[in-house]
Homo-oligomer: A and B are copies of this chain.
Amino acid sequence: MSGSIGIFDSGLGGLTVLKVLAEKFPQESFCYLGDIARLPYGNKSPETIRKYGLQILKFLKAQDVKALIIACNSASTVFLGEEDFDGIPLLNVIVPGSRAALAAAGRDKRIAVLGTSATVRSGAYATTLKGLDPLVEVIETACPLFVPLVEEGVVGDLITELVALRYLQKIKQENIKTVILGCTHYPVLRGDLRKVLGPEVRLVESGEVLAAELRELFQNGTVPASSLGNTRQIRVCITDLTDHFERLATQLMDPEPIGRLEKVVL
């Protein structure tokens, strides 16, 4: 797996990121690690999240990756400002997500951030957004039931719509039209969110912004691109294995095919 791109998330939500990257960079290999044995990260303390994150970065480094991506928003908040791990370029979702949201909002300068409790508690998006543009107004909303709803497949469903209506009440009232999906599970709820917020809402998704960021690292030579004609490999490693997650993985990556999930010990 030498020269592949390492991606990690607390669970399988980051597959929504892997899917986008695998489509946009068809010659690159990827090694994904989902820390299923210890998910979710969204309600854990920063110290615990950082400890787990470091174990995973070490594991991915041992797979000889050329770049590291923290797809997990909760984990990104505790590695903010760190541009490499032991010399390997390290991307997180917060900074590119904030830049993309500002570009999408344009002159409106009002941005909503949806995330887990840990991501919202950290205030990482608000700090980053205001650092990039002091005039921006930010509403951060924790949506802790979205992850279990996605994991149970309750999507395009009245229950999810009611939950979304409750979480998004203020955003809807204030007619905010740029929304950062600050959790890798949330793109699965794209349809439910548009139903509540209106079809014209601009949803900023981690997969798209990380693809743009990675392209820049290839172009400026920070990360060497793989040569065309290589046989690419996509490995999906997880720290626990249940039937439930095999089904969820297939559903999140669809139509991109994935091989068997590999169980690994950190």
Where the two chains meet, the residues of A that have a C-beta atom closer than 8 Å to any C-beta of B are 36-38, 43-45, 48, 117-118, 144-145, 147-149, 151-152, 154, 158-159, 162-163, 166, 240-242, 244-245
Contacts and interface: CB of A to CB of B under 8 A. Distances in A.
Report whether over half of chain A's contact residues are helix, strand or loop; otherwise say mixed.
helix
Given A148-B148, A149-B145, A162-B162, A48 B44 contact: no
Q: Which of A44, A147, A245 has the most CB of B within 10 A?
A: A44
Chain copies in the assembly?
2
Contacts of A144: 148, 151-152
A242 B45 CA distance: 6
B162 A158 contact: yes
B149 A44 contact: no
Contact of A148 (B145, B242, B244, B245): B145
A152 B162 contact: no
Contacts of A240: 44-45, 48
Nearest to A46: B242
Nearest to A263: B45
B158 A44 contact: no
A166 B158 CA distance: 12
A124 to B, nearest CB: 16
Given A145-B154, A148-B145, A117 B244 contact: yes
A246 to B, nearest CB: 12
Contacts of A48: 37, 240
B117 A45 contact: no
A241 B45 contact: yes
A41 to B, nearest CB: 10
A72 to B, nearest CB: 16
Contact of A37 (B38, B147, B151, B244): B38
